[in-house]
Amino acid sequence: MAAMKVRSVFLSDIHLGTRGCQADSLISFLREYESEHLFLLGDIVDFWAMKRGIHWTAAQNTVVQKVLRRARHGERVTLIPGNHDEALREYVGASFGDIRVAAEHIHETADGRRLLLLHGDEFDQVTRHHRWLAVLGDIGYDLLVRANAWLSWARRSLRISGYWSLAGYAKRRVKRAVNFIFDFEDAVIRTVRERGLDGVVCGHIHSACLRETAGVLYINCGDWVDSCTAIVEHLDGRLELVEWRHAGAAAMAVVPLRAVA
Ligand SMILES: [Mn+2]
């Protein structure tokens, strides 16, 4: 099947270097979408987790190579560092080969909407003011993703159909309780409105979203640890949230995460 041509691809929270990273799914996604712009919106390489132990696979190498090749072949690749790859923030304004590093970026869509691109951790009160709590939560999340892999294997063995995400479940329970996502989205949307822009594309909270709130587009790329989601801008400027599950990795592909209670 020929790759689909789109104007832009937005990805965040790939977390290369961790066990949870769904590099195989991402490779198959990248194969299907050819774009003019590739925006990597933070937490692409997880330096925090790599301090605890590196989990670097051949597939993760392939992801890096694919991105570099795309940049070499004229695709405009922009990397906006997140909190897990904040070491790269020192290089804001510089370029690595053909990859530009920026703290944020304003992207104009084909239909003229101006979108603020950033990772988003600056809007997360937990990572901003309680770094130790964020690191702790991060280790917990790691364990959760691992338990989830085991659980879906068990469900497959028992021939229970449908993808059920433990990490997704826990996130919904825990974070909803503290209104974490709501506060985050709210703060981001407020800033976008104050800056007179049409919308935002961010990441960080691992919760994919594409919605319009009082004239402001709030878009979140989600992640490639649990949900395997990306945002694409079509040639006419139309924006789409893609939920990707590699057919080989899971026949459960068709069940969108959010539809599962
Ligand atoms: Mn982050």
Query: Domains plus CATH for the chain?
Result: 4-259 (3.60.21.10)
Residues in the chain: 261
194 CA distance to ligand 1 middle (Å): 23
Q: Is 109 within 8 Å of 237 (Cβ atoms)?
A: yes
130 CA distance to ligand 1 middle (Å): 14
- For residue 203, how many C-alpha atoms fall within 13 Å in the half-sphere facing its CB? 32
Full pLDDT tens readout for the chain, 261 residues: 678 999 999 999 999 999 999 999 999 999 999 999 999 999 999 998 888 888 999 999 999 999 999 999 999 999 999 999 999 999 999 998 889 999 999 999 999 999 999 999 999 876 655 555 566 566 667 777 777 777 777 777 777 766 667 767 766 666 554 567 778 899 999 999 999 999 999 999 999 999 999 899 999 999 999 899 999 999 999 999 999 975 444 433 333 333 333
173 CA distance to ligand 1 middle (Å): 20
pTM of the model: 0.80
Alpha helix ranges (H) inside 180-258: 180-194
pLDDT of residue 168: 73
Q: Is 228 within 8 Å of 29 (Cβ atoms)?
A: yes
Q: Which residues contact 185 (CB under 8 A, 6 or more apart)?
A: 209, 218, 220
Q: Is 11 within 8 Å of 40 (Cβ atoms)?
A: yes
Cα 169 to Cα 159, 222, 259: the distances in Å are 20, 15, 12
Q: Which residues contact 6 (CB under 8 A, 6 or more apart)?
A: 33, 34, 35, 232, 233, 234, 235
2 CA distance to ligand 1 middle (Å): 33
127 CA distance to ligand 1 middle (Å): 9
**The pair of three-digit structure tokens given for residue 165, joined into one six-digit string:** 């995400």
204 CA distance to ligand 1 middle (Å): 4
pLDDT of residue 145: 73
81 CA distance to ligand 1 middle (Å): 9
27 CA distance to ligand 1 middle (Å): 21
Q: Is 106 within 8 Å of 195 (Cβ atoms)?
A: no
122 CA distance to ligand 1 middle (Å): 9
Q: Is 107 within 8 Å of 37 (Cβ atoms)?
A: yes
120 CA distance to ligand 1 middle (Å): 7
Residue 117's nearest CA partner among 22, 26, 169, 188 is: 188
213 CA distance to ligand 1 middle (Å): 23
> How far is C-alpha 150 from the geometric centre of its chain's CA atoms?
23
43 CA distance to ligand 1 middle (Å): 5
Cα 90 to Cα 82, 179, 256: the distances in Å are 12, 32, 38
225 CA distance to ligand 1 middle (Å): 12
91 CA distance to ligand 1 middle (Å): 18
133 CA distance to ligand 1 middle (Å): 14
Backbone angles phi, psi at 62, to 5 degrees: -60, -40
134 CA distance to ligand 1 middle (Å): 10
Residue bearing tokens 């959010």: 258
85 CA distance to ligand 1 middle (Å): 8
Cα–Cα distance between 118 and 128 in angstroms, integer?
15
199 CA distance to ligand 1 middle (Å): 19
44 CA distance to ligand 1 middle (Å): 9
The DSSP string of 118-152 is ---GGG-HHHHH-HHHHHHHHHHHHHHHHHHHHHH
